[in-house]
Structure 1
Amino acid sequence: MKNLFAILLFFCTLSAFAQTNSTEDKETEVTHKWRISMPYIVPDELISGYDDRTSIQMVELHVKRNLDNKNIVGVKFATWRLFQPMGITWWDGVVDKIDSGTEYYDGFLRETGIGITYQRMLWKGLFAAVEVLPQIQTYTDLDGNKIKNGFKVYNSLHLGYHVAFGKKKRFFIEPQVHCNQWMFDNNSPEGFKEMDDKYGNVFLFEPNIYFGWKF
């Protein structure tokens, strides 16, 4: 986590000290119309232990289309497994609670959905994005036995920086910060609900890094 913050701070600093007296960009034809990307945590989960008690078993994939040099739309597929409430924030001590295990569910919550995304390039590589992801929820006990189903809509706002590299600028990374909010999450089993009710339905300032390929 410390390394992720350091990388994010580096790119934010790079953006802040970029050239300020630039001329207005001329509209050019989009070189690569499509792109696919995923967050760094997907391969990290596979390496660190996919079946661990605290593994979120996350898979996330974005397929996006460049409408022009400023506007990018896409489809997002994501699935993850929660072992404690998503609403535990930094100031609630989310990392400490993961280490201590004091707020673990008596089971797991699997959330899976397909949603839409919109990304707007603001200046140079700086961008803002919004994502809306409807999700089907499956609650299970610790042995994987299904308890019940639920539904929620997971929304997120993003501010980040796009850095392309390689001979034809096909590869890229996007360090960014998310603000997340979710709704209609109201069908949880009693034990899960008691945990969720302690916290809200917003998680602010989640750092992340995405990497991808344009074609």
Structure 2
Amino acid sequence: MKNQFTILLLFCTLSAFAQTNSPDSEKTEVAHKWRVSLPYFIITDRIGKNFGDWDARTSTQMIELHVKRNLDNKNIIGLKLATWRLFQPMGIQWWDGLLDKLDTESEFYPGHVRESGIGITYQRMLWKGLFATVEVLPQFQTYLDLDGNKLGNGFKLYNSYHLGYHIALGKKKRWFIEPQVHCQHWMFDNNAPDGFKELDDKWANYFLFEPNIYVGFNF
């Protein structure tokens, strides 16, 4: 996994460098240099019947913001700021009965895990609006019991891989939406307290095929 992560970062760095230093890239002018975006909704937000209730047991209390720089018309780099709260392991797949476990509560943690971090992103436009994105997000973790008392700290390196389509809106193309599907995996997540660790060890350190929609603004 460490080798895979190193190769991935190297590929992204070399790709961005090559594009920004090629003659074609130097001649290309982008209409908007910056963009900001955030998720419109997250289908796998695992909030179940308590949708909209910030303090609910199954609320992820998620906040996510992207600030990106358009290097040219093909390459986009940026920062990802995110925080969320987990109430069960992230590695439970759709085919493992993810939605059913929301009702049975069989895999709920004995509390919550708050994960927050600032990461980097690289987005490559492939064909027309089709794009691929890689995001690397170091996260600091805080483990809490059901009463909100702190149990300990941890660290996770969270990576996600996206395939989506950029749809520009308006006469000046300032607004946009990006429907997409992504897969994620994480590493170094090994400092969980008892009860949390037992559940994490039952499931994978990845999640596949999460659908999402982002909305954003160019400036």
The TM-score range, normalised by the shorter chain, is 0.7 to 0.9
What is the identity, as a one-letter code, of the residue corresponding to 2:104?
S
The correspondence for 1:194, drawn from 194, 198, 204, is 198
Q: Percent identity?
A: 73
Which of 202, 207, 215 is residue 203 of structure 1 equivalent to?
207
Aligned to 1:156: 160
The AA in structure 2 aligned to 1:162 is H
Amino acid at match of 1:126: L
Partners of 1:168 and 1:200 lie apart in 2 by 44
1:132 aligns with 2:136: yes
Partner residue in 1 for 2:10: none
Q: Number of residues paired by the alignment?
A: 188
CA distance in 1, matches of 2:176, 2:51: 22
For residues 16-55 of structure 1, the aligned pairs below 5 Å read 28-41=28-41, 48-55=52-59
The aligned counterpart of 2:102 is 98
Secondary structure of the residue that 1:48 maps to in structure 2? coil
- Where structure 2 has 5 or more consecutive residues not aligned to the other structure, the ranges are 1-26
Summarize the Cα distance change of 1:101–1:79 in structure 2 as closer, same or farther, 3 Å threshold. same
1:65 paired residue among 63, 69, 80: 69
Instruction: Give the unaligned 5+ runs of structure 1.
Output: 1-26
* Code of the aligned partner of 2:39: P
Equivalent-residue separation in structure 1 for 2:126 and 2:164 (angstroms): 10
Alignment correspondent of 1:19: none
Q: Which amino acid aligns with 1:213?
A: F
Give the match for residue 166 of structure 1.
170
Consecutive aligned runs of 4 or more in structure 1 exceeding 4 Å deviation: 44-47
Q: Which residue of 2 aligns with 1:110?
A: 114
Cα deviations by residue, 1:83-106 (Å, 9 ceiling, x for unpaired): 000101111111111122111001
For the residues of structure 2 that align with 1:169 and 1:28, how far apart are their CA atoms? 17
Q: Deviations over 1:108-129 (max 9, x none)?
A: 0000000000000000000000
Separation of aligned partners in 2, 1:99 and 1:61: 30
